[in-house]
Amino acid sequence: MKISIIIPVLNEAALIVQTLSALQPLRSAGHELIVVDGGSSDDTIGLSEPLADQIIRSSRGRSRQMNAGAKIARGEILLFLHSDSLLPKGADQWIICEMEKRGKDWGRFDVRLSGRHFLFRVVELLMNLRSRITCIATGDQAIFVKKKLFETVGGFPDIDLMEDITMSKCLKRYGPPLCLWQKVATSSRRWQRKGIFRTILLMWFLRLVYFYKADPSQLARFYESREE
């Protein structure tokens, strides 16, 4: 089985070379690497060109970008990776072997935040534990899914925030996820930039109001206002 790794990007020139370079062994193994740009104004596309199999442009929005990448993907398995995240060594074999062994059609990795503060260890522990209990995965955990199932559920919902949560709810109707213990290393830059406690409270608040049916578009605008 072949994996198509889909990376949505927007002005990621500072990180994209590191991210794509780490994925070259997977390209050499025959897997596909797709970069989907949402309208970058920096050199993200130029830096990506020698390191990806396909580079396309789409309308801005992570869900729309990931759906655009999935549409042209040639692999039987789709893996959605954030531009500031690094897969564990041998990620392809873990995915393929464990999906076949356990009869799973979708899943995710555990996550490890890059920061050294002890609170990051607590945050990542709770993220991984909550995911196992609820069968809900986040984008930071590098969600992977068989393309046929992805198409069956209609892809990511066209919303501006919480697209990973909504997608997980759709996927788990077809069975619980494969929760791999191997860790995706993801940047803690947003936590460090805005403060650990402040970011924790913000994410809890967003999840809570989303649970009570808040409009994702309004949540996205609220989130972006806190990022400015």
Whole-model pTM: value is 0.88
Cα 199 to Cα 12: distance, rounded to the nearest angstrom: 21
Radius of gyration of the chain (CA): 17
CA of 21: how far to CAs of 16, 42, 50, 64, 87, in Å? 8, 19, 10, 25, 11
For the domain covering 3-190, report its CATH number. 3.90.550.10
The mean pLDDT value of the chain amounts to 90
Domain range annotation of the chain: 3-190
Q: So what's the pLDDT on residue 227?
A: 54
pLDDT digits (tens, 9 = 90+) for 158-183: 987 889 989 999 999 999 999 999 99
Q: So what's the pLDDT on residue 159?
A: 85
